[in-house]
Amino acid sequence: MAWDRNQMAARAAQELEDGMYVNLGIGIPTLVANYVGDKDITLQSENGMLGMGPFPFEGEEDPDLINAGKQTITELDRTAYFDSATSFGMIRGGKIAAAILGAMEVAENGDLANWMIPGKLVKGMGGAMDLVAGVGRVIVVMDHTNKAGESKVLRECTLPLTGKGVVDRIITNLGVLDVVKGGLRIVETAEGVTEDELRAATEATIVS
């Protein structure tokens, strides 16, 4: 047993505290918004918006109102709009408390790779490099292993980096790990997963 996508998102939502300004990446991180409960969280969309609302009702889509994934969205009573330079000013300036994003590989020193596989189609890094370099806390949510069953939690990343030493916490289907001095520390294991199973699925050094 391990966490599914929604359980991973729910676990990631526990990282968020009342009053935080947060940027959520595409994929499982987007689901985190469904689990914030009563906490007062403001979502940033890096194309120029604070206070991102849910998808619009059918027929109410506005081509002038999209998120960073280019999806139609809505505004809230707290919403503010701004240009891209201002948007990344608040990201680079450390005003965004946390970013929750997916990854292809994470290393024990906090290195993150999530934008490019050499030899495959390269789409670009978008705002990922700015986010991981700038925000207060970087939380990665991803499957612990790839489709071939190999660990994505590594001693060193093999893919081109998005950021060097930027990751604070890793939440996978098997558990939660923190980047600490000398390697990764197990914070908790997913329901039905033993610490031994988590260690066995992890290539990175685990310190106690």
Partner 1 sequence: MKKVYATASEALEGLLHDGMFIAAGGFGLCGIPELLIAAIRDAGTKDLTIASNNCGVDDFGLGILLQTRQIRKMISSYVGENAEFMRQYLSGELELEFNPQGTLAERMRAGGSGIPGFYTKTGVGTVIAEGKEVKTFDGQDYILERGIVADLSIVKAWKADDTGNLVFRKTARNFNPPAAMCGRVCVAEVEEIVPRGSLDPDHIHLPGIYVHRIVQGQHEKRIEQRTVRKKETA
Chain residues in the site for partner 1 (CB under 8 A): 45-49, 54-58, 60-67, 69-73, 75, 81-85, 87-89, 91-92, 111, 121-130, 133-134, 160-165
Nearest approach, Cβ of 46 to partner 1 (angstroms)?
7
Spatial contact of 73 and 65, defined as CB atoms under 8 Å apart: yes
Q: Residue with structure tokens 């685990």?
A: 206
Name which of 61 and 178 has its Cβ closer to partner 1: 61
Name which of 38 and 58 has its Cβ closer to partner 1: 58
Does 46 qualify as catalytic in the annotation?
yes
Q: What is d(CA 27, CA 139) in angstroms, rounded to the nearest whole number?
A: 14
Q: What is d(CA 156, CA 80) in angstroms, rounded to the nearest whole number?
A: 40
Name which of 42 and 47 has its Cβ closer to partner 1: 47
Nearest approach, Cβ of 73 to partner 1 (angstroms)?
7
Nearest approach, Cβ of 179 to partner 1 (angstroms)?
15
Q: What is d(CA 131, CA 126) in angstroms, rounded to the nearest whole number?
A: 10
Spatial contact of 128 and 114, defined as CB atoms under 8 Å apart: yes
The residues annotated as belonging to the active site are 46
